[in-house]
Amino acid sequence: MLTHGAGKMKMLFSGEFEGFPDPLGLGSTVSLIGAASSEFVFALLVVAGVGTRIVAIPPAVTMLVAATIVHGGQPIGNMELALLYLAMFVTLIFTGGGRFSVDELLARRKAAKKK
């Protein structure tokens, strides 16, 4: 997912807003900012395990929009990657980052201080 986000971040910083899909009618610039931050910044935070349940929501929404609106009506092969990412992020929303995440490390430290 980070590779897709990195390409969008490059587009964002080079000013290539024109031609980017605007599936929600917010404008190409806003759509690019949202997609780039969801696919790169928030995905990076998920990888690190920082606020996993919360930061997995924007990428999940982005993948839902990509699968249903951007690729809606196209063959399932065009939606497949977005649906796979969507399933992964929805799972993380419900399960959290796990025992090797920053979230868990902070929870352990907090529990140790209470003792």
pLDDT at 72: 87
Q: Give 41's DSSP letter.
A: I
Q: What is the pLDDT of residue 16?
A: 80
Tell me what pLDDT residue 17 has. Answer: 77
- CA distance linking residue 37 with residue 41, whole number of Å: 5
Indicate the SS3 state at residue 76: helix
- The domain spans of the chain are 2-114
Low-confidence ranges of the chain (pLDDT < 70): none
Q: At 39, list the tokens.
A: 């696919």
pLDDT in tens, 12-36: 899 887 788 899 999 989 999 999 9
pLDDT of residue 115: 72
Torsion of CA 64, 93, 9, 102, to 10 degrees: -170
Distance between CA 60 and CA 58 in Å, rounded? 5
Q: What is the pLDDT of residue 102?
A: 92
